[in-house]
Structure 1
Amino acid sequence: MDYNNMNKEKLVEVLMEKDKILRELRLENKKLNSLASFDAMTGVLNRKSGLELLEKEFNISNINNRNIVVCFVDVDKLKHINDAFGHEEGDKLIINVASILKNSIRKTDFVIRMGGDEFLIVFPQTTMKNANKVRYRILKMIEESNQGNIKYNLSLSYGFYEYGNEIENKLTVNDLIRRADIEMYKIKSVKKKDFKDRYRKQNR
């Protein structure tokens, strides 16, 4: 474009238009980057971006000598719900769980969808005392959700792990997740045992 032969008014108009286009492109790029960070179905952080943020918060906790808590969450009996009511109902259940988790956490916390029916809640620079307050809110919202559901009861298994770097300074982020996962499976195993015991009693 030949700017030399343009009058001043026209030049200002062209430059303003170019500036507008650049702003729109930057905004669009920002939206795309944001979308790439979130799980399309649930709206919580996807695994890749979530774990990157967890790594940053883990490092900050180490620098500031503050604890960090992670909670591994698994939706109970999703396969049974998919088989009985269809995968669309199963998807609705996962979306509902994500919504409950998002609406229960504090502004400083975040939720990651690890895959399928598994989520990770991260409580940066905090202790189990504060994380437990969130846990109670989640349990209350689950109870309210089940009151309006005549098909099935929503149930979660979860395991918390609190990390303090003064004692465990050799642990990694993967270690935190693995330990929370182990705690979650302990709860899930107890639930399965209770279910089997009730089933045996009913069929004697």
Structure 2
Amino acid sequence: MDKETLIKLLRKKDDMFKKLCIEKEKLNYYASTDAMTGVLNRRSGLELLDKELTFSKINNKNLVVCFVDVDGLKTINDNFGHQEGDRLLMNTAEILKDSIRKTDFVIRMGGDEFLVVFPGATIEEVHKILNRINLRLEESNKNNNSYSFSLSYGFCEYKKETECEMTLSDLIKKADLEMYKKKLQKKKEL
């Protein structure tokens, strides 16, 4: 085999390798992302959250999770169709993604439930982010005369000094319970 043929073969091999790497990245993206909302899917999101919790325990860092539920999605689906409900879920994911810090991430847990993870944050910092989310919700409602768009949410803050035995499941359950309490309180106020 002459030198030119060898160079052509090596270039072809490099091109194929680059294409395979791009395809692998695409497959990883599709395997870890919720197809409708573009946020992390439950499986990959919980894997990442588990790593963040372990990191927080090892490095004595705070971690806050926020369990988010879209209020009245079933009613919206029933009254305006599932396409509108899907649009609402996509809008929710977009608002959450656009409002958080670069180090934070959003997980679609399923249906109308999301989990927002704030590595290294305190509950006070998260409340500032929540204010940005609420402003975006208000903006969205100004442009929508058909129904009111709202979220219920609950937080759980991991602090090594007080929560060293907390598991991933405990963290999510506490945030979910807080969200449920707020959701019930909203219903009582109506």
Settle same-fold status: TM greater than 0.5: yes
Residue identity matched to 2:40: L
| Aligned pair partner of 2:92 in 88, 97, 103 | 97
User: Are 1:138 and 2:133 counterparts?
Assistant: yes
CA distance in 1, matches of 2:25, 2:76: 37
User: Deviation at 1:71?
Assistant: 0.3
Q: 1:29 aligns with which of 21, 24, 27?
A: 24
Task: Identify the residue that residue 10 of structure 2 maps to in structure 1.
Answer: 15
Which residue does the alignment assign to 1:56?
51
Q: Quick one: distance in 2 between partners of 1:142 and 1:170?
A: 36
In the TM superposition, what is the alpha-carbon distance from 1:167 to its structure 2 partner?
A: 1.2
Q: Is 13-22 or 89-98 further displaced after alignment?
A: 13-22
Shift of 1:34: 1.7
One-letter identity of the residue aligned with 1:85: F
Equivalence for 1:198: none
Alignment of 1:19-168 (within 5 A): 19-168=14-163
Structure 2: distance between partners of 1:125 and 1:56: 13
Deviation at 1:75, TM superposition (A): 0.4
What RMSD over aligned residues (CA atoms) do the two structures have, in Å? 0.8
Q: Which residues of structure 1 form unaligned runs of 5+?
A: 1-5, 196-204
Identity of aligned residues (%): 61
Amino acid at match of 2:185: V
1:181 aligned partner, one-letter code? D
Q: Give the count of matched residue pairs.
A: 190
In 2, Cα distance between the equivalents of 1:111 and 1:15?
42
Question: Which whole-Å CA distance do the structure 1 matches of 2:24 and 2:157 have between them?
Answer: 37
Deviations 1:126-162 (A, max 9, x none): 1011111110000000000000001111010000111
Amino acid at match of 2:127: N
For residue 7 of structure 1, report the CA deviation from its aligned partner.
2.2
Structure 1 runs of 4+ off > 2 angstroms?
none
SS at the partner of 2:160?
A: coil
Residue in structure 2 matching 1:172, options 156, 161, 167: 167
Say which one has the larger Rg: 1
What amino acid is the match of 1:121? Answer: V
Query: How many Å separate the matches in 1 of 2:94 and 2:134?
Result: 13
Mind listing any 5+ residue stretches in structure 2 that lack a counterpart? none
CA distance in 1, matches of 2:187, 2:80: 21
- The alignment partner of 2:162 has SS state of coil
Aligned equivalents of 2:162, 2:23: Cα separation in 1: 45
